[in-house]
Each structure stands twice: as C-alpha cells, then as structure tokens.
Structure 1
C-alpha cells in the first residue's frame, strides 16, 4: 500500500538515508559503550561501570526509535554489523583502552552522533517532517548532555 503522510517519496528516502546513518552511529556507540562497561578498570571503576550501563541502556532504546522512524517513512532499517560499519562515522574501539581514553572516545562518539543528527535537519525542514525533526532534537539534546557529563570527568 502506498504511503500518504504528506511527505514526498523522494524526501522520505533522503530522510531515511540520513536516519540510517544516525542508526549506525547510535548502534556503534551503544556497542562501544557496552564494551567499555564490561572492561573498565581503575579507581573510577564503580562510577564508570554504572554510568556506562545507564548510557548503553538509553542507546539501546534509541536504536529502536530511530529504526522505527525509518520504517514509518517506508524504508527498511539497516541491521547488520557490515551495514553499520559502512554507514557509521564512529570507529570501533581498538583493544581495551584505559578508563580515561574510554571516556575520551565516548565523548567523541556522542559528538559524532550530534553532528550526524544535525546533518539531517535540512531534509526534515524541506519536507516539513516534524516527527523526524522532533526525534533529532531529542537525540541531540541527550548526546550533547552526555558528552558534557563525560567531558567533565576529564577536567583536572
């Protein structure tokens, strides 16, 4: 059945492509955060272990929201590691870094998600896709706040 939600097919495709990049970034950041949760050591172990758990739990929920928005726009959501590797702007962790480096990488990851989300706004505005714009706004707010909180752990 054709989709008639007031957004042109080409606009839906462009937004879904952007959201696929956002989904890949979010999933990659989820995986990295979960990995760091399992492997963090050092004097900040308890704090970081719990903080990373809160963050990866939120990211797991976000992945579903982004994927469902892609589906609502009439496109299939990517869902394999190989697709995410092609679409994501976030690099996987190489080995098990020290706690401070984990924090740095997660700050960079959250900032990357923000940049990806921001890059989709022109397409949502052109198409008057308020639902996607609202999702992007919420994601930006959360990732900027999380990056700030993580960054504060690195201050001397």
Structure 2
C-alpha cells in the first residue's frame, strides 16, 4: 500500500514537488524584488511606459508568489519564507543599481527565462506524479510568461 497525502498524491512525489516549488518560490521572490526595484529606479526617455509596465509585472509576480506558496501548502508541506533562504536558494541574482530602461528589460527577460525553465521542470515532475493541480498551474504560468518574453523581445527590437 502506498502512502498518500490528503489530496491523494504519493507522499514521496509530493515531497519532491514541494522541494521544486520552494526553489521556484525563492526565484519568484528575488525576481519580484528585482522588478519592483526596476519600477522604482528606471530612468530615461521611456520612463513613463516602463514604470507602468514594471508595476503590472511585479503585481502579477506577487500574485504568483502567493499561489506557489499555497500550492506547497496544498501538497502538505511548508513554503520557505525567510528572505535569506531565498537569496541562497535562487538561481536569479539580486539586481542592484539598475536604472537604464533597456538594462531593466533585459534583466526581466533573463528572470522570465529562468522561471520558465524551472516551471518546465515542475511541470514534468507534476505530470509524472499525476498531480494535475501543480501541472496546470505551471503550464498556465509558462504560457503567460512565454508571451511576455515575446513582447519584451519585440520591445527591444
């Protein structure tokens, strides 16, 4: 008899997924703060449009931070919640003293590329574990963010 959690997933699979999701959460938190910083500090001729766009992006990222943490809880595990842990766990590095609009957009592109790659790993693991909830969440994020990457690349020319 296999051990399952409260939503019927094998506990070993749920544990692996929670670990991957905590890694994703750490990256979301660092990326969120980077985009927030870009919003505050961007300068240049495109200030108004970038300032507004960055606010839209960081608002969406903050929503996803909450959703990823809640998915970890749904799996029966605890989301990492110390910023010091995020810094050590994340692949995305903190962006400091970035003011140039194009550099901000490039930083955002790099962040999304990292998230998409991590989410593909989550999607694969969730699919193998028959975890439709996590797979659906990851798939939705990937679809949205791929479109954002396309648009940001188009913005840069």
Provide TM-score, normalisation by structure 2. 0.93
Runs of 4+ off more than 4 Å = none
What is the count of residue pairs matched by the alignment? 154
Q: Residue 24 of structure 1: CA displacement?
A: 1.2
* Alignment partner, residue 77 of structure 2: 75
Q: Residue 89 of structure 1: CA displacement?
A: 1.2
1:38 maps to which of 33, 37, 40: 40
2:149 maps to which of 114, 135, 147: 147
Structure 1, unpaired ranges of 5+: none
Query: Per-residue displacement from partner, 1:14-49 (whole Å, max 9, x unpaired)?
Result: 001111111111111111111000001100000000
Q: Residue 131 of structure 1: CA displacement?
A: 0.1
Q: Residue 97 of structure 1: CA displacement?
A: 3.9
Query: Per-residue displacement from partner, 1:102-145 (whole Å, max 9, x unpaired)?
Result: 11010000110000000122321121000000000111112212
Relative contact order: is structure 1 or structure 2 higher (C-alpha 8 Å, sep ≥ 6)? 1
Structure 2, unpaired ranges of 5+: none
Q: Distance in 2 between matches of 1:119 and 1:74?
A: 20
